Amino acid sequence: MIRFVIAFVVIVLFLGLSLFFVPIDTLLKRVNTSSAVSYSLAEGNLFNGRINDVSYKASDDAMPLALGDYFYEGNILFTGIKVAFNNEDSSTVGVIKTNFFNGDLHLEDFVTEAGYSTNGLGMLGLKINIDKLTLNDGSCSHISGTISLSNDSFAESVKGDLRCLENNIYEVKLLNSSNVAMATMIYKPGFIDLEIETSILKADVSVFLGKRMGFTIPL
């Protein structure tokens, strides 16, 4: 009995220590069976390292969206794995948790800021804060978070709560400080549809553009 216990402990320790030496590139190639996410080089092991030139492709014929280089730190939990990540300038940070028992994937404490160019308004500033996003079988089952949108032409920035719809579509109604809806943003794989009230603009252009104007932003 004692020999069995000792042997079991030795095996567990050996397997645990071996995780420090297994290259993350080997693990990712086994786990990542999707062609949507790709990278050029992964350095490190399960517990810390760097993944370079991460990109996302919404479909086979879509242009890949470059996401940049990311550093990560991983921990093994009783229910799965927890990975904290950030890009080089920490403009994007977050935590990913996997659940081995039900297959759920959680994104928590995620913050990112980015600028998107439009023909009519120039550069739009987008800030995303996700407290928690739960994916089951690749589809969103729950999301709690906000999006803020700003532009030099806006009288003020607008903000709203995220909702996940079917087929990996996300929607947010953006409100001003008076809690009046000023814009609607819909994310679909590969692009963003944005529709704004022209009253959000500093200049009164409703005579020329009407009450609403729309943009499609490819990703």
pLDDT digits (tens, 9 = 90+) for 164-179: 998 888 999 999 999 9
- How many Å apart are CA 158 and CA 200, to the nearest integer? 9
Percent of the chain with pLDDT over 70: 76
Q: Which of 58, 81, 103 is the last residue of a domain?
A: 103
Q: Mean pLDDT throughout 19-40?
A: 62
Q: Which of 103, 124, 157 is the last residue of a domain?
A: 103
Q: Which of 48, 74, 103 is the last residue of a domain?
A: 103
Same domain, yes or no, for 116 and 12?
A: no
Residue 98 has pLDDT above 90, yes or no: no
Residues spanned by the domain of 53? 1-103
Please answer whether residues 195 and 211 qualify as being in contact, where contact means their C-beta atoms are separated by less than 8 angstroms.
Answer: no
- How many Å apart are CA 94 and CA 133, to the nearest integer? 11
Q: Mean pLDDT throughout 36-44?
A: 77
Nearest to 34 by CA among 107, 108, 138, 110: 138
Q: Mean pLDDT throughout 72-90?
A: 85
Q: Mean pLDDT throughout 81-91?
A: 88
Residue 129 has pLDDT above 90, yes or no: yes
Please answer whether residues 153 and 124 qualify as being in contact, where contact means their C-beta atoms are separated by less than 8 angstroms.
Answer: no
pLDDT at position 200:
82
Residue 161 has pLDDT above 90, yes or no: yes
Q: What is the pTM of this model?
A: 0.78
Query: Got the DSSP string for 170-201?
Result: EEEEEE-TTS-EEEEEEEETTEEEEEEEGGGB
